[in-house]
Amino acid sequence: MWRGKVLTMSEDARIAGSNVIPALRYLDAPAAIEWLCKAFGFESKMVVPGENNTVLHAQLTYSGGMIMLGSKRDNELEPYMRTPSELGGLGTGSLYVIVEDADAHFERAKRAGAKIVMEVEEQEYRGRLYSCLDPEGYLWNFGTYDPWQAME
């Protein structure tokens, strides 16, 4: 319950934020945080610094969403995680972020040096979308299609 009212999954996610939060590892996490904020408009909400200019944990938000990230390091999870640059530039997934204006967001990311892999296009399923790579090779998709609204 939220404020005395039972909410649907989509209503709950819009009020409280998504309950799925991507977590990424970067070789240069401090630079990634700075770049993600500049290029994509994320806001740094928490950064826990580590030794030797590393980041143990960071939380960045965009609108109602969040990503977490940290520096690549040796621990029990690292045998299961590789950055795209460690895989020859290939990723095993991508991230999708809902934006109000895909064209304006595209221009911002392009000015900041994002490698554009797909220009802004109208999608058959609704909305405008573009795709780009960040400096460490993660594939990001930004679009106006809101799957939460499509479920209503």
**Domain count of the fold of the chain:** 1
Which pLDDT tens digit goes with each residue over 78-93? 888 889 988 998 988 9
Q: Is the pLDDT of residue 106 over 70?
A: yes
Q: Is the pLDDT of residue 4 over 70?
A: no
For 146, the domain range is 9-150
Distance (Å) of CA 102 to CA 86, 123, 145: 30, 12, 10
Which pLDDT tens digit goes with each residue over 14-41? 455 678 999 999 999 999 999 999 999 9
Residue 88: inside a domain: yes
Residue 3: inside a domain: no
Structure confidence at residue 19 (pLDDT): 85
Q: Is the pLDDT of residue 95 over 50?
A: yes
Residue 21: inside a domain: yes
Binning pLDDT at 50, 70 and 90, where does residue 44 land?
A: very high
The average confidence (pLDDT) of the chain is 88
Quick one: tokens of 6? 């039972």
Residue 140: inside a domain: yes
Residue 4: inside a domain: no
Q: Stretch 50-64: mean pLDDT, rounded?
A: 95
As a whole number of angstroms, the distance between CA 123 and CA 13 comes to: 24
What's the gap between Cα 143 and its chain centre?
Answer: 12
Residue 61: inside a domain: yes
Residue 44: inside a domain: yes
Binning pLDDT at 50, 70 and 90, where does residue 13 land?
A: very low
The CATH number that applies at residue 59 is: 3.10.180.10
| Three-state secondary structure call for residue 29 | helix
Residue 2: inside a domain: no
Q: Which of 27-31, 110-114, 119-123, 146-150 is predicted least confidently?
A: 146-150
Structure confidence at residue 70 (pLDDT): 97
DSSP state of 78: G
Rounded to two decimals, the pTM is: 0.85
